[in-house]
Amino acid sequence: MKISLIQMNSVSDKAANIAVATKLVGQAIAEERPDWICLPECFDFLGGDRAAKMAAAEALPGGPAYAAMQTLARKHQVYIHAGSLLEKPGTGDRIHNTTVVFDRTGAEIARYRKIHMFDITAPDGTKYNESAAFAPGSTIVTYPCEDMIIGCSICYDIRFPDLFQALAAKGAEMIALPAAFTMQTGKDHWEVLCRARAIETQAYVCAPAQTGAHFAGKELRQTYGHSLIADPWGHVIAKASDGIGIVSTRIDRALVKKVRAQIPVAQHKVQFD
């Protein structure tokens, strides 16, 4: 199966972001002819204040970002794992950070709401408080794609191995990780965490990321980029540099089976009290 990751520099201009995402998906299809395409976290809107985020959020199914990706999947007969987009809540005053997946017909086949909220203090003292605007999800999600099972995660989820183990236990052979890693955490932790989760789950980890600068209110923030694909042995088999663009490779389900047979960690797990 051939896959393509889209690396973006989304900002607080929803129409512009959707236009860029549409162009890059079209470019990937024309140049790479992939079976599966994944966009980064918050591809439709990144930054802005809480009110701007709420205004940009969509009631799913529907909305311009949802419709654009659904149309592309149907038109080009390709699976689109639509990174994550901002979802209006049914109740309450916090939105969701939500992945939506479309199959080759444009049918929605999976929806995942980010479980772990990015409430941290960066090394330079910058505070991130995702839970102020976003409500966490609680459901572990996998879906079939061709002959593989794909697991869903988003960005900060990568720091919680239990989620990835749960995805593997549900049959995931590839795990999608759309992200918007900060520059400070990304330069030290991004690749090593992606590789660690791949090694632990013996699955492909496919991680499209945001790159470049955006404003969160009046504060300028930098994202790390370096979208990558790690194989079940932990090798990085494709990686983007800085800037907007596409990274593609072929993945092989047989390698998952081979690695899991060589080192059958799932059979060696011990339950502790």
User: What are the catalytic residues?
Assistant: 41, 114, 155
CB 20 within 8 A of CB 12: no
- The C-alpha atoms of residue 131 and residue 182 are separated, in whole angstroms, by 17
Give every strand in the sheet of 236-239, ordered side by side: 142-145, 148-152, 174-176, 204-207, 228-230, 236-239
> In terms of Cα–Cα distance, which of 256, 255, 258, 249 is closest to 1?
249
> In terms of Cα–Cα distance, which of 168, 139, 177 is closest to 3?
177
Q: Where are the alpha helices (DSSP H) in the chain?
A: 14-32, 50-56, 64-76, 161-169, 183-185, 191-201, 253-262, 265-268
- The C-alpha atoms of residue 99 and residue 123 are separated, in whole angstroms, by 29
* Tokens encoding 259: 């690695």
